[in-house]
Amino acid sequence: MFAFMGGTFDPIHNGHLRSALEVQQWLGIDQVYLMPARTPVHRDAPGRTAMQRLAMVEAAVAATPQLCADSREVLAEQPSYTLYTLQALRQQLGPQLPLCMIIGMDSLLNLPGWYGWKQFSGLCHILVLHRPGYHFEPGDELAVFLATHQTDDRAELFAAPAGRVLLHEQTPLDISATNIRSLIARGQSPQYLLPETVWQYIIQHQLYGYTAPTELNVHQ
């Protein structure tokens, strides 16, 4: 199985990494690929360049062989439409290998607004991560889609190359990239919310408004 998690990763943080690692262990697969978008089409433009965000993902996973950075969307010369990525992956992997796209519940609820979303089921499985006790109310169009494709059995993700949607409860980590960017802009440290290697990259390149602290003059 090829499993991947896309996102802006602006910056990548421990919530992303823990979710990906839990999926890798739960599915019992070798790796989960983290795929930063070059130009996200469903949200505002990120604050950092695609190459900087890719570098942070690479730094974050360097010591974790179960996770891998995937540069295909960053290096592609087209908008980061998920449909294009799935088509490219399917061409690369062939028609039989299971392909699993990992998304959050918010993304699932917004799926009918994604370009070519009804073609996804012919290209991949969708693994949806949600918090314990989450109350799920899909709209009419999404409900019809789920009635055909949803399963509760992870074995079905291995039994076919594509076509199933599975909701999986994850351990909640209340960490957001927005909060991390805000902390840095206010001159506060985001340590322990993201890997130290990512924090050091942010410091080195002075991202998100980071400025080095000045020494205080102490008067005797």
Per-residue pLDDT tens for 149-171?
Answer: 999 999 999 999 999 999 999 98
For the chain, the structural domain boundaries read 2-205
Residue 42 has pLDDT above 90, yes or no: no
**CB < 8 Å & 24+ apart, contacts of 89-98:** 89/2, 89/4, 89/123, 89/124, 90/123, 90/124, 90/162, 93/2, 95/161, 96/161, 97/1, 97/2, 97/161, 98/1, 98/2, 98/125, 98/157, 98/158, 98/160, 98/161, 98/162
> pLDDT value at position 43?
60
Does the pLDDT value for residue 46 go beyond 80?
no
For residue 216, the model assigns a pLDDT of 47
pLDDT value at residue 219: 43
For strands 32-36 and 125-130, give the pairing: unpaired
User: Are the C-beta atoms of 111 and 142 separated by less than 8 Å?
Assistant: yes
- Type of residue found at 44: D
Can you tell me the distance from the alpha carbon of 218 to that of 220, in angstroms, rounded to the nearest whole number?
Answer: 6
pLDDT at 217: 44
Summarize the confidence of residues 18-37 as an average pLDDT. 97
Has residue 44 got a pLDDT over 90? no
Q: What is the pLDDT, as a whole number, of residue 214?
A: 64
Whether the predicted pLDDT of 172 surpasses 80: no
CATH number of 2-205: 3.40.50.620
Q: Which amino acid is at 1?
A: M
Q: Tens of pLDDT along 118-150?
A: 999 999 999 999 988 888 889 999 999 999 999
pLDDT digits (tens, 9 = 90+) for 174-184: 899 999 999 99
- What rounded mean pLDDT belongs to the chain? 92
Residues linked to residue 194 through DSSP beta bridges, in sequence order = 191
Confidence of residue 220 (pLDDT cuts 50, 70, 90): very low
CB-based contact 111:136 (threshold 8 Å): no
Secondary structure letter of residue 35 according to DSSP: E
Mean pLDDT for 49-63 is 97
Q: How confident is the model at residue 1 (pLDDT cuts 50, 70, 90)?
A: very high
What is the average per-residue pLDDT within 173-194?
A: 95
